[in-house]
Structure 1
Amino acid sequence: MTITLRPATEADLMLVGALHQRSRVAAYSAFLPAEALAEPTPEAMGAYWTERWVWERDDHRMTVVERAGRLVGFSHLGPDDAGDPATGLLNAIHLEPSERGQGTGRALMVDALEAMRARGWSRAVLWVLRDNVPARRFYERGGWTLTGEERDEHIGPALTPQLRYARAL
Structure 2
Amino acid sequence: MLRVREMTEADIEAVAAIRVRGWQFAYAGLMPQAYLDAMTVEEDAERRREHFARGRLAADNLVAERGGSVVGWSCTGPCRDEDAEPGDGELYALYVRPDQVATGVGRALLTESVRRATARGHAHLRLWVLQGNTRARRFYESAGFTPDGAEEPYEVDGVPVPELRYALPLPLPLPQGTHRQ
Q: Tell me the residue number matched to 1:14.
A: 13
Matched, 1:52 2:48: no
Q: 1:15 to 1:166 in 2, by over 3 A?
A: same
Contact 1:81 1:89 in 2 (8 A): yes
Higher percent of residues as strand: 1
How many residues are matched?
168
1:76 is displaced (CA, Å) by 0.3
Matches within 5 A, 1:1-169: 2-82=1-81, 84-169=85-170
Conservation of the 8 A alpha-carbon contact between 1:37 and 1:156: no
Matches of 1:154 and 1:11, distance apart in 2: 33
| Aligned partners of 1:126 and 1:164 also within 8 Å | yes
Ranges of 4+ aligned residues in structure 1 off by more than 6 Å: none
What percentage of residue pairs aligned between the two structures are identical?
Answer: 35
SS in 2 for 1:25: helix
Please, what is the CA RMSD of the aligned residues?
1.3
Letter in structure 1 aligned against 2:113: A
User: Helix, strand or coil for the counterpart of 1:59?
Assistant: coil
Q: 5+ unaligned residues in a row in structure 1: which ranges?
A: none
Q: Quote the Cα distance in structure 2 between the aligned partners of 1:68 and 1:35.
A: 33
Q: Report the secondary structure of 1:5's partner residue.
A: strand
Distance 2:69 2:128 in 1: 27
Amino acid at match of 1:151: E
TM-score by length of 2: 0.88
> In the alignment, is the contact (CA less than 8 A) between 2:32 and 2:157 conserved in 1?
no
